[in-house]
């Protein structure tokens, strides 16, 4: 009888024991399922397991300074007058203008604005190679004593963009046509009508 009980106990022990080399289950309470994440879970770019919170959008990048290599007014007699970036440059009323930028930048234009921010009629050209050369010739001489703004900006939006998509701040150069402004035309006198 003792042998029978011993054999039964051994048999039951063998049935409950894990196979040799298998990991044993930890004793204690069953594991608690994880709590859901406080943000929407997104899949990984490869479509695999969730990767965590969505990435924040990139911070806006401030435009870079425009790579201005040369800014000149070309005046009668072959005079080339450099245009200053800070302050105002006096130019001959018959001057044309040339701006050279470092690198090949297709998205750039050169315009001339009068004191009321209106476009001054002019012909413009762009040459692109290792550098970018912008030229502008007003269709008529500038009125003496008048102030203007020569501006390089983007052809489609305010900022200038290069082929890699980098944005550059526009450049505005203040100009004043030399000479004395013409005297204003006299107003016609009102005629008095007798009553």
Longest dimension (CA), the chain: 152
- pLDDT at residue 193 in the model: 64
Whichever domain contains 87, its CATH number is 2.60.40.1220
Of 48-52, 92-96, 131-135, 179-183, the range with the lowest mean pLDDT is 48-52
Assess if residue 182 is contained within a domain: no
- How wide is the angle at C-alpha 36 spanned by C-alphas 33 and 38, nearest 5°? 155
* Structure tokens, 165: 């998509």
pLDDT in tens, 96-132: 999 999 989 989 999 999 999 999 999 999 999 999 9
Q: Which residue range is the domain that position 169 belongs to? A: 68-177
Taking residues 83-91, what's their average pLDDT? 95
Assess if residue 47 is contained within a domain: no
Of 40-49, 83-92, 176-185, the range with the lowest mean pLDDT is 40-49
Measured CA to CA, the distance from residue 151 to residue 127 in angstroms comes to 17
Contact partners, residue 104, CB within 8 Å, separation at least 6: 128, 129, 130, 131, 132, 162, 163
- pLDDT at residue 146 in the model: 96
* Structure tokens, 64: 């870079």
Assess if residue 187 is contained within a domain: no
| Total count of domains within the chain | 1
Q: Which of 13, 165, 57, 160 lies closest to 99, judged by CA? A: 160
Assess if residue 110 is contained within a domain: yes
- pLDDT at residue 190 in the model: 73
Of 51-55, 105-109, 166-170, the range with the lowest mean pLDDT is 51-55
- Which of helix, strand or coil describes residue 13? helix
- pLDDT at residue 101 in the model: 94
Measured CA to CA, the distance from residue 65 to residue 160 in angstroms comes to 10
Assess if residue 82 is contained within a domain: yes
Assess if residue 26 is contained within a domain: no
Q: Are 143 and 120 in contact (CB under 8 A)?
A: no
* Structure tokens, 127: 């040459």
- pLDDT at residue 52 in the model: 64
Assess if residue 37 is contained within a domain: no
Quick check: 166 pLDDT over 80?
yes
- pLDDT at residue 186 in the model: 76
Assess if residue 63 is contained within a domain: no
């Amino acid at each position: 009888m003792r042998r029978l009980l011993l054999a039964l106990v051994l048999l039951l022990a063998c049935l409950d024991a894990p196979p040799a080399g298998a990991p044993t289950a930890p004793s204690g309470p069953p594991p608690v399922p994880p709590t859901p994440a406080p943000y929407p879970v997104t899949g990984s770019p490869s479509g695999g397991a969730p990767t965590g919170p969505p990435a924040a959008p990139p911070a806006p990048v401030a435009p870079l300074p425009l790579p201005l290599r040369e800014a000149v007014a070309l005046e009668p007699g072959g005079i080339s007058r450099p245009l200053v970036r800070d302050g105002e440059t006096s130019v001959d009323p018959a001057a044309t203008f040339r701006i050279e930028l470092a690198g090949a930048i297709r998205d750039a234009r050169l315009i001339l604005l009068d004191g009321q921010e209106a476009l001054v009629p002019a012909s413009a050209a762009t040459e692109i190679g290792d550098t970018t050369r912008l030229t502008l010739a007003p269709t008529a001489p500038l009125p003496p004593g008048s102030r203007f703004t020569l501006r390089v900006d983007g052809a489609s939006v305010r900022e200038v963009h290069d082929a890699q998509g980098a944005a550059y701040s526009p450049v505005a150069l203040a100009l004043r046509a030399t000479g004395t402004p013409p005297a204003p035309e006299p107003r016609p006198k009102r005629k008095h009508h007798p009553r």
